[in-house]
Amino acid sequence: MIRVGVIGYGYWGPNIVRNFNMIDGAEVAAICDKNPLSAQRARKNYPNLLITENSAEIVQSPDIDLVTVITPVSTHYELAKQALLNGKHVFVEKPFTSNTKQAAELIEIAGKKNLKIMVDHTFLFTSAVRKIKQIIEDDVLGELYYYDSTRVNLGLFQHDVNVIWDLAPHDFSIMDYLIKEKPDAVAASGKAHINSKEDIAYIMVYFSKNIIAHLNVNWLSPVKLRTTLIGGEKKMLMWNDVDADEKIKVYDRGVEITNSEGIYNLLVNYRSGDMWAPKVDQIEALKLETQYFVDCINKNEEPFNNGHAGLRVVRMLEACDESLKNNGRMVKL
Amino acid sequence: MIRVGVIGYGYWGPNIVRNFNMIDGAEVAAICDKNPLSAQRARKNYPNLLITENSAEIVQSPDIDLVTVITPVSTHYELAKQALLNGKHVFVEKPFTSNTKQAAELIEIAGKKNLKIMVDHTFLFTSAVRKIKQIIEDDVLGELYYYDSTRVNLGLFQHDVNVIWDLAPHDFSIMDYLIKEKPDAVAASGKAHINSKEDIAYIMVYFSKNIIAHLNVNWLSPVKLRTTLIGGEKKMLMWNDVDADEKIKVYDRGVEITNSEGIYNLLVNYRSGDMWAPKVDQIEALKLETQYFVDCINKNEEPFNNGHAGLRVVRMLEACDESLKNNGRMVKL
Amino acid sequence: MIRVGVIGYGYWGPNIVRNFNMIDGAEVAAICDKNPLSAQRARKNYPNLLITENSAEIVQSPDIDLVTVITPVSTHYELAKQALLNGKHVFVEKPFTSNTKQAAELIEIAGKKNLKIMVDHTFLFTSAVRKIKQIIEDDVLGELYYYDSTRVNLGLFQHDVNVIWDLAPHDFSIMDYLIKEKPDAVAASGKAHINSKEDIAYIMVYFSKNIIAHLNVNWLSPVKLRTTLIGGEKKMLMWNDVDADEKIKVYDRGVEITNSEGIYNLLVNYRSGDMWAPKVDQIEALKLETQYFVDCINKNEEPFNNGHAGLRVVRMLEACDESLKNNGRMVKL
Amino acid sequence: MIRVGVIGYGYWGPNIVRNFNMIDGAEVAAICDKNPLSAQRARKNYPNLLITENSAEIVQSPDIDLVTVITPVSTHYELAKQALLNGKHVFVEKPFTSNTKQAAELIEIAGKKNLKIMVDHTFLFTSAVRKIKQIIEDDVLGELYYYDSTRVNLGLFQHDVNVIWDLAPHDFSIMDYLIKEKPDAVAASGKAHINSKEDIAYIMVYFSKNIIAHLNVNWLSPVKLRTTLIGGEKKMLMWNDVDADEKIKVYDRGVEITNSEGIYNLLVNYRSGDMWAPKVDQIEALKLETQYFVDCINKNEEPFNNGHAGLRVVRMLEACDESLKNNGRMVKL
């Protein structure tokens, strides 16, 4: 039985507690939140657990095997480091750390002490992303042409990060998971209308291969859009995450060059065939993810969403910030 | 009665002929297309008109007052120039010319000879854009925050231009019409998958003021999307041009800073009120536009979509090309 | 070459003329409309044809082989009868006649004189209905459970018929085409709000087999809905005719009884699998239909949408009227 | 403090418990479910409460003021009666009872003992229905023309009732709430495909005034539809309950008779104006409803969704059953 200490009981923490309690082989032993109101709420919900406002009681506890860090990103590094130094596995909310240097140091400590790091890229455990992964691996789409994501809504403004650090980790981790090629460079432009942090931003991601990626993230949209188009040589896919019933649609559509005779003739042919919406299960992603982490620990296996995956995402975020500061200039990774 | 000579009878030309024949004060006198099949088609539809494959018969005809140039963009300059030099008013398909130098020269010739140039930015005459213009001028949205357009579908691949020159003139002309501030710079990134012309591209448009604009143009999308979000300080608007019934939705939604006490408190408040979809008339845009041009000629007034408006759009397109060649670098206008 | 005389040049007549002129083996020779404005319009569009306000010039003309009757339903019988008696094939707008007696008489005359009757059930020639027909014949849906159609919009109020006679012929002819079993009885309820004709009505169609059908027709709906659900034992289908891209969706969904142990246990299991939207071609239905009629005449073959099909639809309409007058009582067919 | 005993801890019971615990002036004292698994679940969730499988422990307990009956409909009468006879107020799941005789008897007992009955017509407390109520009372729609509801999905088959008793109580209670006129008669047709209970049914509701109502209920639909059209003389409304953002749309559309000159002229004019989607709050309906019941008890006021309202809905259901058995014959109320 892996005993879990949860640090951070705000918006997401209660889900972490519930899921670690639901799965086999784990149970939550303690909860910490330095905000007295949150601690009080945890106490009410879990009267039999240790509830504390002092994270040291968690990271130093001899009763705890695994520490989850579900706090603002600026605190991830220090809390995760203390947990690792005290011999705990760590499960860290995304984005992993505030910069790549911190991420690399945590990876190094975990490696030396043979501890596991999992970064909470929850989307990778959704049925939708798992289905898309399978579609791509089955070569249904053929060579990938583009990945184009729109992720906009009327914010939940974050106090410590801009819209890119809030929303883009989802797409960066999904792209890292779905696209075999690794990106070469990014460019980002944005604007801060409400306070000093960008609330709207556009990100280009460049690859050496033929694929191009683009993210549209916005805290000031009147409507919630969660649409990703993935174009391939053979077929094209649309993932609409706000559609309850038909999240994924695979279109048998495309173009092919057929001839090029004469400047006034069209050079390409269009193909427009059936559309297919595969069934997408409704399993809670976090349940799969927490179970997977417990299994990795028990089998001493490295999770695919480990510290290295977290670091790759942070490197993208860092590069975006650098590009933002330089008029949207392309920044090599 | 203004007598019109139409050069170019491919996809759009028949609409031009039909509309100039429908309105008051004008009639089509001659049609030219150098493609014999198109000329043959014109002959069948209009047996009583002069149909020719030789544009000189149009531009030099003493019977013609107004020449419309509905041909590939690379031919606009030469045809329009000949028409102007022969004393004809010109109506030129968008984009106006292949470069700003050509545009400036045409404007100069027209000025000297007191002839009118109209660039066919048809979208400015649609009921949807006219309604949005009115909403913005009535200050319903307040100070503008962003203009974000997605204009994607399964191509009509063009043989001589990339996707930006094909699709972005719509948005550039609409922005030029709707947004008081003039842009300072653009940046564009894209990729050519099918032939040597970019078939997918993303464009940033920068202003000195608080507003930011972005265009997503793509010939390789499995679905047709025509969605523009316009965010303002007071309200936000979504224009979905593929929605037959509710093209424009105005949302009484927004955010406002209310306090900033403590790092864990939210800094902003959300406002979520009613939505309103104004009625959008179904008048053919081209009918309004052609009538407007005839009126401008008769009253000797300058149309707002004149050569200068066309030149401003071409300048944006030129800058996009330069940015494309330089890794998406920002290009000052 | 079959020479066609078109009677009725209002809303639908011009399409009839255009299509008979487009297809092989036929050409329009004359057009009649007793409304002088419509006749004038025909004269302008087709200056070389005989245009008349007197239908006798059509039905008695020795130059005409086929007469199309595209007039209000109350005039169908007399015009079609005259045409048949003068040895012309007839193409009659739906609904075929004002009552079954008239329909039976026309069928008898045509039979004696070996002439063809086609009733213009255009929907049967749309790609959507043809695709659904194929899906049902391939037994994709299994035994049919129900046919449920909603056909509502802000009317085109008819001056001489109620909403059932206006809209239900579409569904009656489609059901007649798609469903092997023939209906036993109908029941109809409705209300007249604007004038003395029902503008909203609901129709039940009963069969001896397990299938049940229902139509919702309404001239007073604020939105246009054209949705038909067809449930089967194996799969279920939704046809949304106002969806430009995905008109037909086939759902691998259903229920099956699995056990019945205990009153508090659920008795059935749900199956929820993939959805599939087959490509639906965009061919003009009327072109197929007119070509099919010409072919039937040339091969001396009976069209499937012949007078008998038209009569079956009129019988349903008659029964609906009887039910309307009797508080929605079931009326045997 | 009103002490609540909850009978029935299946699908809906836990929501009842949670809400009575959440609101002011009430607390849950005991929970009963005769299914040992449900009782066990209640015990785990509420270790400090009395949990029993014997309803007598609830209805006879001197510690309990209010009994909620959240069990299959066939048990409502007996449980509610025992509760009332023991001096408890009762909150009964919809539909109120299995027949009107039972409902009348419960009302009589409650009246004699000055106890309150509330029937759980939850929909009346949703923000959507409350907003529609306000729109109708403000006379935005004018005189009502029709109420047309589609409530279909892939069922949760009920073991003891047909689809009408399962789904139609929602619409019957909503119509009872929204429409001033009371219905005169109903007619219902349906079919049982899976077991002996109808799984698909269509219901007509007749009024002496100009309004007509229609319900389409179906457990065998591949898609979930929850759409209600309400047409009025002045405006029309669409309520789409599966649309998260724009549940209610009010259309400034309609028709008006303008002239009737000549049989071939249209008799009516169309009006097509703006659409308006009022903000619909996201408050949990059950919270409002339970609070309202506690307030009614404390103030000794009759709730509007009392036993009489419950009885009116049961009378409609009874009449539907009678009509079902008689070929859809109209049944007077």
pLDDT tops 60 at residue C244: yes
The structure tokens listed for C204 are 């039940």
> What residue of C is the nearest CA neighbor of B223?
C245
CB contact under 8 A, D275 and B274: no
Per-residue pLDDT at A259: 58
CB contact under 8 A, D328 and C160: no
pLDDT, tens digit, 9 for 90 and up, residues C187-223: 999 999 988 899 999 999 999 988 999 999 999 999 9
Average pLDDT over residues D251-268: 64
The structure tokens listed for C223 are 């939105």
Percent of chain A with pLDDT over 70: 95
> What residue of A is the nearest CA neighbor of C282?
A272
The subunits that touch chain A, with at least 3 C-beta pairs less than 8 Å apart, are B, C, D
Per-residue pLDDT at A263: 44
CB contact under 8 A, C279 and A274: yes
> What residue of A is the nearest CA neighbor of C275?
A277
CA proximity to A202, closest of B167, B248, B206: B206
CA dihedral A171, A177, A180, A183 (to 10 degrees): 40
pLDDT tops 90 at residue D264: no
D268 pLDDT band, cuts 50/70/90, is low
CB contact under 8 A, B190 and A212: yes
CB contact under 8 A, C275 and A272: no
pLDDT, tens digit, 9 for 90 and up, residues D199-246: 999 999 999 988 999 999 999 999 999 999 999 999 999 999 999 889
pLDDT, tens digit, 9 for 90 and up, residues B79-106: 999 999 999 999 999 999 999 999 999 9
* d(C-alpha B216, C-alpha B191), whole Å: 12
Q: Is D223 touching A (CB cutoff 8 A)?
A: yes
D196 pLDDT band, cuts 50/70/90, is confident
pLDDT tops 60 at residue A169: yes
B254 pLDDT band, cuts 50/70/90, is confident
- B contacts of D245 (beta carbons < 8 Å): 275
Superfamily of domain C124-283+316-332: Dihydrodipicolinate Reductase; domain 2 (3.30.360.10)
Angle at B59 between CA B53 and CA B62, to 5 degrees: 115
pLDDT, tens digit, 9 for 90 and up, residues A1-40: 999 999 999 989 999 999 999 999 999 999 999 999 999 9
A45 pLDDT band, cuts 50/70/90, is confident
Q: Is A140 touching C (CB cutoff 8 A)?
A: no
* d(C-alpha C253, C-alpha B82), whole Å: 66
Average pLDDT over residues A143-152: 97
The pTM for the full model equals 0.93
Kindly report the backbone phi and psi dihedral angles of residue D277, in degrees, each rounded to the nearest multiple of 5, phi listed first. -115, 100
Q: Is A332 touching D (CB cutoff 8 A)?
A: no
The structure tokens listed for C207 are 């069969």
Average pLDDT over residues A87-92: 98
C72, C154, C212: residue with CB nearest D270 = C154
* Mean model confidence pLDDT for chain D: 93
pLDDT tops 80 at residue A209: yes
* d(C-alpha C148, C-alpha C267), whole Å: 25
CB contact under 8 A, C276 and A274: yes
pLDDT tops 50 at residue C263: no
Q: Is B243 touching D (CB cutoff 8 A)?
A: no
Chains A, C: CB pairs < 8 Å: 28
Average pLDDT over residues D312-319: 98
D66 pLDDT band, cuts 50/70/90, is very high
pLDDT tops 50 at residue C264: no
Q: How close, in Å, is residue C240 to chain A by CA atoms?
A: 15
Q: What is the DSSP letter of B136?
A: H
Q: How close, in Å, is residue A133 to chain C by CA atoms?
A: 17
CB contact under 8 A, C154 and D330: no
* d(C-alpha A204, C-alpha B330), whole Å: 13
- C contacts of A278 (beta carbons < 8 Å): 274
Q: Is D256 touching B (CB cutoff 8 A)?
A: no
End-to-end CA distance of chain C: 41
C262 pLDDT band, cuts 50/70/90, is very low
> What residue of A is the nearest CA neighbor of B158?
A266
What topology does CATH give the domain D2-115?
Rossmann fold (3.40.50)
β-pair partners for C205: C186, C213
Same fold, B2-115 and B124-281+316-332: no
Per-residue pLDDT at D258: 64
pLDDT, tens digit, 9 for 90 and up, residues C66-89: 999 999 999 999 999 999 999 999
Lowest mean pLDDT among B192-196, B219-223, D95-99: B192-196
The CATH class that applies to domain D124-282+316-332 reads alpha beta
- C contacts of B18 (beta carbons < 8 Å): none
Q: Is B275 touching D (CB cutoff 8 A)?
A: yes
Average pLDDT over residues C160-187: 96
Q: Is A278 touching C (CB cutoff 8 A)?
A: yes
Q: What is the DSSP letter of D272?
A: E
A223, A224, A245: residue with CB nearest D223 = A245
pLDDT tops 60 at residue B111: yes
pLDDT tops 90 at residue A195: no
Q: Is A48 touching D (CB cutoff 8 A)?
A: no
B155, B202, B266: residue with CB nearest A268 = B155
Chain A stretch 67-86, residues whose beta carbon is closer than 8 A to a beta carbon of chain B = 72
D246, D272, D273: residue with CB nearest B275 = D246
Strand-strand pairing, B117-120 and B89-93: parallel
Strands in B89-93's sheet, in edge-to-edge order, are B50-52, B26-32, B2-7, B66-69, B89-93, B117-120
D272, D273, D279: residue with CB nearest B274 = D279
Kindly report the backbone phi and psi dihedral angles of residue B279, in degrees, each rounded to the nearest multiple of 5, phi listed first. -60, 135
The structure tokens listed for B26 are 């004008």
Angle at A189 between CA A188 and CA A194, to 5 degrees: 125
> What residue of B is the nearest CA neighbor of A34?
B264
Q: Are B197 and B181 in contact (CB under 8 A)?
A: no
D272, D273, D277: residue with CB nearest B275 = D277
Chains A, B: CB pairs < 8 Å: 170
pLDDT tops 60 at residue A91: yes
Q: Is D219 touching C (CB cutoff 8 A)?
A: yes
Per-residue pLDDT at B307: 98
The structure tokens listed for A180 are 């075999």
Average pLDDT over residues B124-149: 97
Average pLDDT over residues D288-313: 98
- A contacts of C274 (beta carbons < 8 Å): 276-279
Q: Is B283 touching D (CB cutoff 8 A)?
A: no
A252 pLDDT band, cuts 50/70/90, is very high
Per-residue pLDDT at D257: 65
> What residue of D is the nearest CA neighbor of C208?
D191
C252 pLDDT band, cuts 50/70/90, is very high
pLDDT, tens digit, 9 for 90 and up, residues A293-333: 999 999 999 999 999 999 999 999 999 999 999 999 999 99
Average pLDDT over residues C240-251: 93
Q: How close, in Å, is residue C244 to chain B by CA atoms?
A: 10
Q: Is A281 touching C (CB cutoff 8 A)?
A: no
More confident residue, C254 or A291: A291
Residue D253, amino acid:
R
Q: Is D44 touching A (CB cutoff 8 A)?
A: no
> What residue of B is the nearest CA neighbor of D253?
B279
Q: How close, in Å, is residue D131 to chain B by CA atoms?
A: 12
- What is the CATH architecture assignment of B124-281+316-332? 2-Layer Sandwich (3.30)
Average pLDDT over residues C299-305: 97
Cβ-proximal residues to D134 (8 Å cutoff; 6+ apart), any chain: none
> What residue of D is the nearest CA neighbor of B252?
D279
* Domain edges within chain A: 2-115, 124-280+324-332
> What residue of A is the nearest CA neighbor of D45?
A45
User: Among the CATH numbers 3.40.50.150, 3.40.50.300, 3.30.60.50, 3.30.360.10, which is that of A124-280+324-332?
Assistant: 3.30.360.10
Region of A139 (left: φ > 0; alpha: ψ -120 to 50; beta: rest) is left
The subunits that touch chain D, with at least 3 C-beta pairs less than 8 Å apart, are A, B, C
ipTM of the complex: 0.93
3 state SS of D244: coil
- D contacts of C265 (beta carbons < 8 Å): 159
Q: Is B206 touching A (CB cutoff 8 A)?
A: yes
Percent of chain B with pLDDT over 70: 95
> What residue of A is the nearest CA neighbor of B262?
A159
pLDDT tops 50 at residue C311: yes
Percent of chain B with pLDDT over 90: 86
